[in-house]
Amino acid sequence: MKRRITTYLEYMDNLIDRDDEKTDWNEVYRLHLIKTEFFQHERLVHLLVLMLVALLMMATVAISVISGYIYMLLVTAGLLILLVPYIMHYYFLENSVQKMYDQFDKIYEHVKAEQNHQA
């Protein structure tokens, strides 16, 4: 997923920077909205998984403290090892979607300019 998002962001940056007269900005606008929705959905799913893993980790800490069952800390360590990559991936998704919003604003400027040019 990371490679897919990075490739798409680079493609859109190149398209926006190139500003080719042959580009159908209405189509780019539509495509970008659809892609952004897909990546927003991905971000939401990862946020939910991240929250679930974090809550499970907190629950295992509470269980080990309350019950004194020291081996529960091994489960906590495993969840922590799982949680760190989830946080890193969610951070990447969040920043990527924010960048897509910036790209959307630039694409919208092109659409408006194209509409004004046609009028």
The full set of domain ranges for the chain reads 47-119
Q: Are 100 and 35 within 8 A, CB to CB?
A: yes
Per-residue model confidence (pLDDT) at position 119: 62
Dist CA 96 CA 117 (whole Å): 31
DSSP label at residue 71: T
What 3-state class would DSSP assign to 1? coil
Specify the pTM.
Answer: 0.82
Q: When comparing pLDDT for 40 and 113, which is higher?
A: 40
**Residue carrying structure tokens 């490739």:** 7
Per-residue model confidence (pLDDT) at position 19: 74
Per-residue model confidence (pLDDT) at position 81: 94
Answer whether residue 58 shows pLDDT above 80: yes
Q: How confident is the model over 65-103, as pLDDT tens digits?
A: 898 888 888 999 999 999 999 999 999 999 999 999 999
**Residue carrying structure tokens 């606008």:** 29
Quick count: other Cβ atoms within 10 Å of Cβ 107?
23
Q: How confident is the model over 18-44, as pLDDT tens digits?
A: 877 788 899 999 999 999 999 999 999
Q: Beta strands of the chain (E only): which ranges?
A: none
Per-residue model confidence (pLDDT) at position 118: 73
b/e map 21-59, b = 16+ CB within 10 Å: eeeebeebeeebeebbeebeebbeebeeebeebeeebee
Q: Are 57 and 77 within 8 A, CB to CB?
A: no
